[in-house]
């Protein structure tokens, strides 16, 4: 009888465990139920003690002294038009409505949305530009708050990419490949440098929308790919439950959870000793993190105690959870907790038509908060060790997509040239790098490829992009693939 009792218990245990592990794609770092488990430091040591050499635990040390300790990446999904914001081109005003010269286009690839147009009428920005800062940088009237921080910013006006459509272009920026499946940028940093706060993830993702109906974002953009799952980005959402399944379910107290995790750790350790799969230990490390996050995350996500002058700085939208402004404020709080990579995605920049009105809406949704973040970090003494990045996946073309009128036009995707800006640790202040032609169509000086940009940011973190590699299926991979060079002229 005892044999059948043991068999029944074994089957029940296996089914329960299988059900538990089947949920691991829904939450923290590929483990939704990770948020249900807790462990103390002694248990964590037991979990990782059996990890074999070469199992690719976080390396934890930079290759050389870093200038940046943390990254806040304000990614403007949908591709903001550099011609309306940062790259002033009076030639477009002079040639308004005339066809883009073939000598400029040179037969370059177009998307299917404009390839069939019979003409390509040049469209100047509807908005005025003016000089700002000690170096007289030309900035659009759409960005009055950004204009106030130009002396702290490096503009790269010569970015370019091969990707011509949104999904591969965003994926390229975030993973170094146009195809999904590679580790995201934040995952590489987590893997290479580890975490500075054991109570918080090293890689956090925040999402917002400036307007509805824009390009979707997918979890592959913050996936760990083939890196250990503990390095996956964790999405923090607005509302009372910022991380799914982080709170205790009804009827489960802390003591019960502790017993469950202790028992689970014994099972996992036994399984690891049998099959030597390091992912077992990574999974347990996620459970440990989830428990500690139960206290750390609500405290960090609570902005109710911020003084009024901070809300005034970031703008009224910062009081509304889930907005770009609120997420910028949260990004500051997260890096104060030593989160190493904070990735904000702000959707709404895909303006193929009605660009003048839509870009005004989008600029208003980000301008004040973006500038406020720089000012806030600066006043707290954090800007010197934090790198802030602002930009999208590509730019917008000089000609109108569809009908051109004095008050309305659209712009198609343009991978040949676009602008991003950076501020903070290790980059020059009040500096412009790169130059486009008089149509804003081609880079004519100091081109910066996506892989160059990635290599440069990694360099600021003290990482040699050619040395941070991971062997997978017989090949050594890195974020920059087989390319990329550090853009040294922008560095201090």
Segment 396-422, tens digit of pLDDT: 999 999 999 989 999 999 999 999 999
Q: What is the pLDDT of residue 394?
A: 98
If you search the block for the tokens 């941070």, which residue do you land on?
468
- pLDDT(35) > 50: no
Q: What is the pLDDT of residue 284?
A: 67
Pairing of the two strands 153-160 and 418-424: antiparallel
Q: What is the pLDDT of residue 248?
A: 64
Q: What is the pLDDT of residue 482?
A: 95
Backbone angles phi, psi at 217, to 5 degrees: -120, 145
- pLDDT(26) > 80: no
CA 174 to mean position of chain CA atoms: 7
Average pLDDT, stretch 442-454?
A: 98
- What pTM was computed for the model? 0.84
Q: Judge whether 464 and 456 are in contact, CB under 8 Å.
A: no
Of the given ranges (32-46, 98-112, 148-162, 377-391), which has the lowest mean pLDDT? 32-46
- pLDDT(111) > 80: yes
- pLDDT band at 191; cut points 50, 70, 90: very high
* Complete DSSP assignment for 433-474: E-EE-TTS-SEEES-EEHHHHHHHHHHHTT--TTT--EEETT
- Percent of the chain predicted with pLDDT > 70: 82
CA–CA separation, 461 and 11 (whole Å): 49
For residue 193, the SS3 value is helix
Average pLDDT, stretch 33-62?
A: 42
If you search the block for the tokens 């060079």, which residue do you land on?
485
- pLDDT band at 187; cut points 50, 70, 90: very high
**Best CA proximity match to 223, nearest among 185, 192, 256:** 185
CA–CA separation, 310 and 109 (whole Å): 46
Q: What is the pLDDT of residue 184?
A: 97
In sequence order, the β-bridge partners of residue 420 are 156
- pLDDT(388) > 90: yes
Asked: is 64-490 a CATH 1.10.357 domain? The reply is no
CA–CA separation, 56 and 166 (whole Å): 32
- pLDDT(110) > 90: yes
- pLDDT band at 490; cut points 50, 70, 90: very high
- pLDDT band at 298; cut points 50, 70, 90: confident
- Chain segment 463-479, per-residue pLDDT in tens: 999 999 999 999 999 99
Q: What is the pLDDT of residue 261?
A: 72
Average pLDDT, stretch 205-217?
A: 88
Burial of 192 (0-12, 13-18, 19+ CB in 10 A): buried
- Chain segment 237-276, per-residue pLDDT in tens: 876 677 766 666 777 776 776 777 777 777 777 776 777 7
| SS3 sequence of 210-266 | CCCCCCCCCHHHHCCCCCCHHHCCEECCCCCCCCCCCCCCCCCCHHHHHHHHHHHHH
CA–CA separation, 364 and 143 (whole Å): 8
CA–CA separation, 383 and 381 (whole Å): 6
- pLDDT(20) > 70: no
Q: Judge whether 81 and 359 are in contact, CB under 8 Å.
A: yes
Q: What is the pLDDT of residue 273?
A: 74
- pLDDT(34) > 50: no
CA–CA separation, 218 and 215 (whole Å): 10
- Residues 6 or more apart in contact with residue 99 via CB below 8 angstroms: 119, 120, 121, 122, 399
Average pLDDT, stretch 66-75?
A: 98
Q: What is the mean pLDDT of the chain?
A: 86
Q: Judge whether 31 and 283 are in contact, CB under 8 Å.
A: yes
* Complete DSSP assignment for 68-99: -SEEEEEEEET---HHHHT---HHHHHTTTSB
- pLDDT(7) > 50: no
Q: Judge whether 289 and 339 are in contact, CB under 8 Å.
A: no
Q: Judge whether 81 and 409 are in contact, CB under 8 Å.
A: no
Which tokens in the block code for residue 390? 């602002």
Q: What is the pLDDT of residue 492?
A: 96
Q: Judge whether 413 and 371 are in contact, CB under 8 Å.
A: no
- pLDDT band at 16; cut points 50, 70, 90: very low
- pLDDT band at 290; cut points 50, 70, 90: low
CA–CA separation, 43 and 261 (whole Å): 9
- pLDDT(42) > 70: no
CA–CA separation, 246 and 36 (whole Å): 6
Burial of 492 (0-12, 13-18, 19+ CB in 10 A): exposed
- pLDDT(145) > 50: yes
Q: What is the pLDDT of residue 33?
A: 31
Count of beta carbons in the 10 Å neighbourhood of residue 114: 18
Which tokens in the block code for residue 101? 């010269």
Pairing of the two strands 203-209 and 137-140: unpaired
Task: Give the domain ranges of the chain.
Answer: 1-44, 64-490
Q: What is the pLDDT of residue 484?
A: 97
* Rg over CA atoms, the chain: 24
Q: What is the pLDDT of residue 452?
A: 98
């Amino acid at each position: 009888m005892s044999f059948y009792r043991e068999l029944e218990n074994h089957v029940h245990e296996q089914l329960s465990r299988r059900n538990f592990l089947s949920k691991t794609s829904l939450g923290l770092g590929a483990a939704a139920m990770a948020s249900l488990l807790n462990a103390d430091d002694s248990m964590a040591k037991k979990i990782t003690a059996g990890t074999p050499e070469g199992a690719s635990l976080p390396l934890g040390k930079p290759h050389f002294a870093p200038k940046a300790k943390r990254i806040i990446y304000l990614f403007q999904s949908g591709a903001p038009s550099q011609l309306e914001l940062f790259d002033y081109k009076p030639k477009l005003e002079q040639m308004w409505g005339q066809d883009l010269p073939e000598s400029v286009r040179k037969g370059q690839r177009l998307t299917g949305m404009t390839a069939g147009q019979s003409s390509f009428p040049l469209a100047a920005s509807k908005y005025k530009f003016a000089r700002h800062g000690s170096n007289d940088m030309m900035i659009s009237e759409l960005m009055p708050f950004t204009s106030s921080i130009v002396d702290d910013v490096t503009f790269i006006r010569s970015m370019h990419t091969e990707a011509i459509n949104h999904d591969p272009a965003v994926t390229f920026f975030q993973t170094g490949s146009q195809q999904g499946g590679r580790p995201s940028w934040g995952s590489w940093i987590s893997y290479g440098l580890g975490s500075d706060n054991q109570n918080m993830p090293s890689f956090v993702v925040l999402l917002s929308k400036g307007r509805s109906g824009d390009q979707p974002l997918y979890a592959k953009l913050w996936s760990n790919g083939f890196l250990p799952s503990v390095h996956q980005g964790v999405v923090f959402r607005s509302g009372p439950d910022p991380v799914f399944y982080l709170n205790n379910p009804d009827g489960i107290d802390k003591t019960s959870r502790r017993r469950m995790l202790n028992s689970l750790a014994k099972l996992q350790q036994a399984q690891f000793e049998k099959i030597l799969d390091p992912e077992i230990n990574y999974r347990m490390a996620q459970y440990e993190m989830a428990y500690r996050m139960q206290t750390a995350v609500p405290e960090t996500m609570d902005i109710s105690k911020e003084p009024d002058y901070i809300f005034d700085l970031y703008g009224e939208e910062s009081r509304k959870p889930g907005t770009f402004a609120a997420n910028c404020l949260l990004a500051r709080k997260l890096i104060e907790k030593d989160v190493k990579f904070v990735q904000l995605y702000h959707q709404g920049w895909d303006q193929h038509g009605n660009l003048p009105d839509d870009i005004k809406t989008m600029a208003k949704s980000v301008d004040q908060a973006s500038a406020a973040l720089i000012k806030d970090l600066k006043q707290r003494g954090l800007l010197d060790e934090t790198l802030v990045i602002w930009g999208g996946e590509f730019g917008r073309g000089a000609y109108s997509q569809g009908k051109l009128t004095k008050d309305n036009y659209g712009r198609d995707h343009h991978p040949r040239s676009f602008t991003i800006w950076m501020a903070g640790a290790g980059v020059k202040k009040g500096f412009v790098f790169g130059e486009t032609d008089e149509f804003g169509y081609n880079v004519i000086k100091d081109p910066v490829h996506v892989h160059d940009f990635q290599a440069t940011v990694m360099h600021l973190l003290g990482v040699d992009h050619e040395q941070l590699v991971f062997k997978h299926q017989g090949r050594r991979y890195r974020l920059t693939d087989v390319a990329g060079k550090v853009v040294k002229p922008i560095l201090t």
